[in-house]
Structure 1
Amino acid sequence: MRTDREVAFATLVESARRRRECAVGYRLRSQAATGPAYGVRLNPDKRQRVRFGEHDWLIVLAEG
């Protein structure tokens, strides 16, 4: 995923699915110091658009 563009969470879900993974959320480092979620978004609306930075994480479930 590119870090210089907004992307719909649905696009990330589809990318993970193609790798036989399940995207369940993300964490934005820029919001890591702000409670109560500390940058973590679980099960966001698939239409939600997000712009990731270099140190942000996509949270996935995967085997192996």
Structure 2
Amino acid sequence: MWIELTDVNGERFAVNFDHVVSYNAYGHGAHLVTTTPDLTFFVKENIDTLQRAIGIKPARVTQAVK
């Protein structure tokens, strides 16, 4: 699945998310690691935005009642 993202310099690009091995929060955006050695992306989109784009419903964190 191809999705369009914004790198930290503001440039738009498309990445095939089938080749993304992992993604993690990084600052206000995210860090994506791909199957290609040494090819990673730092993007402005946060984890919730990425998950919506690929069809994953973001988990809701509930606060424990005291």
What TM-score comes out, normalization by structure 1 length?
Answer: 0.25
More strand by share: 2
What TM-score comes out, normalization by structure 2 length?
Answer: 0.25
Q: Which has the larger radius of gyration?
A: 2
User: RCO higher in 1 or 2 (8 Å CA, sep ≥ 6)?
Assistant: 1
More helix by share: 1
